[in-house]
Amino acid sequence: MPGPVHDYLDGLARAGEDPLLAEMHALAAERGFPIVGPQVGRLLAQLVHLTGARRIFELGSGFGYSALWFARALPPDGEIFLTDGDPANMKLARGFLGRAGLADRAVFLTGHGQDLLQVAPGLFDIVFCDVDKEQYPEVHGLLRRHLRVGGAFVIDNLLWDGKVADPAANDPATRGVRAFTERMWGDPGFLSSLLPLRDGVGLSVRLR
Amino acid sequence: MPGPVHDYLDGLARAGEDPLLAEMHALAAERGFPIVGPQVGRLLAQLVHLTGARRIFELGSGFGYSALWFARALPPDGEIFLTDGDPANMKLARGFLGRAGLADRAVFLTGHGQDLLQVAPGLFDIVFCDVDKEQYPEVHGLLRRHLRVGGAFVIDNLLWDGKVADPAANDPATRGVRAFTERMWGDPGFLSSLLPLRDGVGLSVRLR
């Protein structure tokens, strides 16, 4: 919500913002394209350092905003898989990460994120999810085979504009977010929290 | 702020709450004693798993609420140092952690947290800070010698009831929180974010 505290948080999140991030913020605003924004972006980069991540998989990369935060935090031999159903998004992402000098640690895949994760080799340190909300419940089932123990799963929009907490909201997307959240919080193999950043960021650590 | 989203977040944070945590919540409410609460508590436990922490130091432990979350997430050979200036708090903390079966991985020290950190041996994976706000700036200077690279520094109350964003607020505590935040965000050796949980939780990862 707007106000001095919001502006203060936004200012701290944007500290040291460079022209490439500024350009992505402007593109998102111009197109009304949802991006996680700098507060969440910082957290994504922090998770790379905290876990010592070398391998990251994104389900739904858009034009590469979250991937830029991740990729910048990875070590030079790290790798991030970007996926998106729209080839135009992947082309934009390739351009942005290339201009950041990070193309060598990124793999750009056009297609259905969950299908691509199922054929991706090895375990990942971090899996990020921002696909259509109706598909959220099925993503939970994929994690045990693709996320390492101690790794982080990050999923956006768990508040879904507050609709998850509104008993009158019963559309498929809201039901998808609710069903995912119930499964994840009920899974003793993960420790989960819902961070009230922007539209609600779910963070789950795989325990075993 | 109260409302259905607040209640939804609180419900998810309290999922699986056991009688010991409930007793600590009740004690805090009864005494008006500030604790970080279950949303932050979950994040603390997650940080232990994400970093693979074995050694944690707390500056200002109160009656052991944050330490209980940390200690439960530690492996059996992990250790957490609790510090507080009030021996009555340390006695309560010893009781709670003992009842949780975690006393063997906890060290209870009555005294000035920063002094005790300076004599503590070795590097820590996580340092947590909740001391008097006037003392916050000096804590930043201690981290480079006591927090390992890739480790997490967590500091409570970085919003200080919104006063940090109010130009009219100029009391020593508010000035202390602001000065700490400026130093931390200006330090290229750390990547920091301010999470809007409760009164604002600062999370800084040591990069080098």
Over residues A152-177, mean pLDDT: 98
> Do the Cβ atoms of B207 and A49 come within 8 Å?
yes
User: Is residue A12 very low, low, confident or very high in pLDDT (cuts 50, 70, 90)?
Assistant: very high
Residue B192's pLDDT is what?
Answer: 98
Total domain count for chain A? 1
User: Is residue A10 very low, low, confident or very high in pLDDT (cuts 50, 70, 90)?
Assistant: very high
**Option in B50, B73, B194 nearest A51 (CB):** B50
Residue A30 counted as domain residue: no
Residue B204 has pLDDT above 70, yes or no: yes
The residue in chain A having the minimum alpha-carbon distance to the alpha carbon of residue B6 is A165
Of chain B, the percentage scoring pLDDT greater than 70 comes to: 100
Chain A residues within 8 A of B150 when measuring between CB atoms: 49-50, 52
Match 């603390």 to its residue by tokens: B44
Over residues B79-99, mean pLDDT: 98
Over residues A153-158, mean pLDDT: 98
**Option in A4, A8, A165 nearest B8 (CB):** A165
The residue in chain A having the minimum alpha-carbon distance to the alpha carbon of residue B166 is A4
Residue A1's pLDDT is what?
Answer: 60
Q: Which of B181, B184, B191 to mutate to test the interface with A (most CBs of A within 10 A)?
A: B191
Q: Is the ipTM of this complex over 0.95?
A: yes
Q: Rounded to 5 degrees, what are φ and ψ at A139?
A: -65, -35
Report field, pTM of the whole predicted structure over 0.90:
yes
Range of the domain at B158: 41-206
> Do the Cβ atoms of A8 and B164 come within 8 Å?
yes
Chain A residues within 8 A of B47 when measuring between CB atoms: 50
Residue A2 has pLDDT above 80, yes or no: no
User: Is residue A129 very low, low, confident or very high in pLDDT (cuts 50, 70, 90)?
Assistant: very high
Residue A148's pLDDT is what?
Answer: 98
Residue A24 counted as domain residue: no
**Burial class, A65, CB count within 10 angstroms (exposed 0-12 / middle 13-18 / buried 19+):** buried
**Option in A8, A42, A196 nearest B9 (CB):** A196
Residue A42 has pLDDT above 70, yes or no: yes
The pLDDT tens digits of the residues spanning B172-187 come to 999 999 999 999 999 9
> Do the Cβ atoms of B51 and A51 come within 8 Å?
yes
Over residues A197-201, mean pLDDT: 96
Chain A residues within 8 A of B185 when measuring between CB atoms: 12, 15
**Option in A4, A13, A159 nearest B166 (CB):** A4
User: Distance (Å) from the C-alpha of residue A110 to the closest C-alpha of chain B?
Assistant: 30
Chain A residues within 8 A of B203 when measuring between CB atoms: 43, 46
- The H-or-E segment that residue A147 falls in is strand A147-155
- The H-or-E segment that residue A114 falls in is helix A113-119
Residue B44's pLDDT is what?
Answer: 98
Residue A159 counted as domain residue: yes
Alpha helices in chain B (DSSP H): 4-13, 19-31, 37-51, 65-73, 87-99, 113-119, 136-146, 172-185
**Option in B4, B164, B191 nearest A45 (CB):** B191
User: Is residue A177 very low, low, confident or very high in pLDDT (cuts 50, 70, 90)?
Assistant: very high
The pLDDT tens digits of the residues spanning B130-164 come to 999 999 999 999 999 999 999 999 999 999 999 99
Residue A174 counted as domain residue: yes
Q: Identify residues of A whose CB sits under 8 angstroms from chain B CBs.
A: 4-5, 7-9, 12-13, 15, 39, 42-43, 45-47, 49-52, 73, 150, 152, 159, 162, 164-166, 181, 185, 191-197, 203, 205, 207
The pLDDT tens digits of the residues spanning B1-22 come to 679 999 999 999 999 999 999 9
> Do the Cβ atoms of A192 and B42 come within 8 Å?
yes
Residue B1's pLDDT is what?
Answer: 60
Residue A21 counted as domain residue: no
Residue A18 counted as domain residue: no
Of chain A, the percentage scoring pLDDT greater than 90 comes to: 99
Residue A126 counted as domain residue: yes
Residue A114's pLDDT is what?
Answer: 97
CATH of the domain at B129: 3.40.50.150
Chain B residues within 8 A of A9 when measuring between CB atoms: 194, 196
Residue A190 counted as domain residue: yes
